[in-house]
Amino acid sequence: MKKTLYLGTLLLLSSTLLFTSCSNDDANSTDISQQIAAIENNVASGNWVVTNFNDSGIDETADFSGYVFRFDSNGTLTATSTANTLTGNWSVTNDSNNSNDDSSSESDDIDFNIFFPVPDSSDFADLNDDWDVVSITATRLELIDISGGDGSTDRLLFEKN
């Protein structure tokens, strides 16, 4: 009798822990989904400019001087200057399940993805990455990428124009 009661209690506790941990994951997933939607809505309004681009310790902000970036709600990213227009894609994704993530911090669970179909020699190829969102306001989007290869850090700052 004691053995049956003990096993029943153990099973009840195990089930409680299982369901409790699942509900926390669901709540975290919902929170990340809401954060993603807020970021998407924010950047899809207005025009943005690069006010800082630091590639592994080298300031390359001037490479994007004169360009205005538009993040359309359909995922199209356009960079326009008086002499040139480039079209690419952007998205915001949940990276919490990526075992290859650069860090294990919960704040890094959201990736801001940028892709321009350009040759590797183009300045815009440096923007192609799955950036971690450092901070976002109505007028500022700060991104970071830590290289998995050599650990170097890239920083990208967009500000609303």
Whether the predicted model's global pTM rises above the 0.85 cut:
no
Q: How confident is the model at residue 95 (pLDDT cuts 50, 70, 90)?
A: confident
Long-range CB contacts for residues 71-76, cutoff 8 Å, separation at least 24: 71/43, 71/44, 72/44, 73/40, 73/44
CATH architecture of 37-160: Beta Barrel (2.40)
Q: pLDDT tens, 24-63?
A: 455 566 789 999 999 999 999 999 999 999 999 999 999 9
Domain boundary assignment for the chain: 37-160
Contact of 47 with 56, CB cutoff 8 Å: no
CA torsion angle for 113, 118, 119, 123 (degrees, to 10)? -70
Phi, psi (deg, nearest 5) at residue 98: -85, 110
CA distances from 141 to 108, 150, 157 (A): 14, 25, 6
Query: Mean of the pLDDT values across residues 74-92?
Result: 98
